Each structure stands twice: as structure tokens, then as C-alpha cells.
Structure 1
Amino acid sequence: MAEKTLVIQNPTGIHARPAAMLVNKAQAFASKITLEKDGKQADAKSILGVMAMAVNQGSTVTIRAEGSDADQAVAELAAFLEQLQY
């Protein structure tokens, strides 16, 4: 299992467009990937799950992945969220 915790810097958080992009990137990996915020978890491959998390600027989120490409999945998704500017 791999995981990384980060604070969302994007002024609008993870709204519709970034959520769709995140889900698209997550679906490229074989690993099971979850996004956690305030003790609640969502499947990072589900647009409804990610949107339901209501991630705003300043929110602390943890990306977790379990599977054959878990390390790569966490690294790439974390990098995407850290560079998010929408």
C-alpha cells in the first residue's frame, strides 16, 4: 500500500473539471485508489465519489493505493493535485 497526504492549494478546490481529470488519471491504474478527507473515503475512480468529498482549498486529503502500481499511482495523482491551477 502507498499513500500521501497533501493540502489542496487550488483556489476552487477539486470542483467538476479537476475531479473529472483526477478520475480519468486514476482509471489508468490497476490499483484500488481511494481519496480520504476528514475520515471519509471515496473511490478515486468514481466521479460521483470524488465530487461528494467536497474538497475545497485548504482541505487535507490522503491518496491511498493498493495494488501492483500503487506507488506510481499515488505519485502521479499527488503531483497532479499539487500542480492543479483551475
Structure 2
Amino acid sequence: MVLASSEAVVRLPDDVDLHARPAAQFVRTAMRFGATVQVFANDRWADAKSLLAVMALGARRGTELRLSAEGQDADVALDALATCVADLVE
């Protein structure tokens, strides 16, 4: 069986840092899917389902996030995460 793999690039809103509350919202969204999801920012990859790993990226306002997902629902997971990032609030 071949697993689907997808990537997307999104940008944090200009008024949101990826600290505890927004990061938790992001992680909750990622956890809804079976796909393995990674997020890249500031020259580091992190497991998108790990709150501590996502917060450790130190992503600040306007930071570009590269999302990568692998699994049957990879495309749906990335669409949901892109929407989540666009809708993040402090």
C-alpha cells in the first residue's frame, strides 16, 4: 500500500505568535487525522501533534510554516491545518 504524501505552505497571521493557546488549537486540529503531520519553521521540523514541539519552533507573527503530511487523509489534514492557521487568534 502506498501512502499519500502532501505538502503545503502557510503563513501565521500578522497578529499571532504560535504560543500556548494558538499552538494548542493547531495541535488539536492535527490530532483529528490519522496522517503523520510535520511542521517546519525557523530551520526546524516538529511533530504537528506535539504541543511542546510546536511551541519550541518559536514561530512568530508572519512566519512561514511548511506543512508535510503522509497517510490516507494527508490532503484533508493539510487543508484543515491551513484553515486553522488562517483562523488563529491570540
Q: Is 1:3 equivalent to 2:11 in the alignment? A: no
Question: Counterpart of 1:27?
Answer: 31
* Equivalent residue, structure 2, for 1:62: 66
The change in CA–CA distance for 1:10 and 1:80 in structure 2 (over 3 A counts) is farther
4-13 or 23-32, which moves further after superposition? 4-13
Equivalence for 2:17: 13
Structure 1 stretches of 5 or more lacking a match?
A: none
2:46 match: 42
Take 2:42 and 2:60, find their aligned partners in 1: how far apart are those partners? 12
Q: Is the 8 A contact 1:63 1:74 kept in 2?
A: yes
Quote the Cα distance in structure 1 between the aligned partners of 2:25 and 2:10.
Answer: 18
Deviation for aligned residue 1:38: 2.9
Over residues 45-81 of structure 1, what are the superposed CA-to-partner deviations in whole Å (9 max), with x where a residue is unaligned? 0011000001100111111100010000000001110
Partner of 2:79: 75
TM-score (norm 1): 0.93
Unaligned runs of 5+ in 2: none
| Deviation at residue 12 of structure 1 after TM alignment | 3.0
SS of the residue 1:11 aligns to = coil
Larger Rg: 2
CA contact (8 A) 1:14 1:51 kept: yes
TM-score, with structure 2 as normaliser: 0.89
Q: Find runs of 4+ consecutive structure 1 residues off by over 4 angstroms.
A: none
Give the aligned length: 86
Q: Structure 1 stretch 50-59 or stretch 3-12: which is displaced more?
A: 3-12
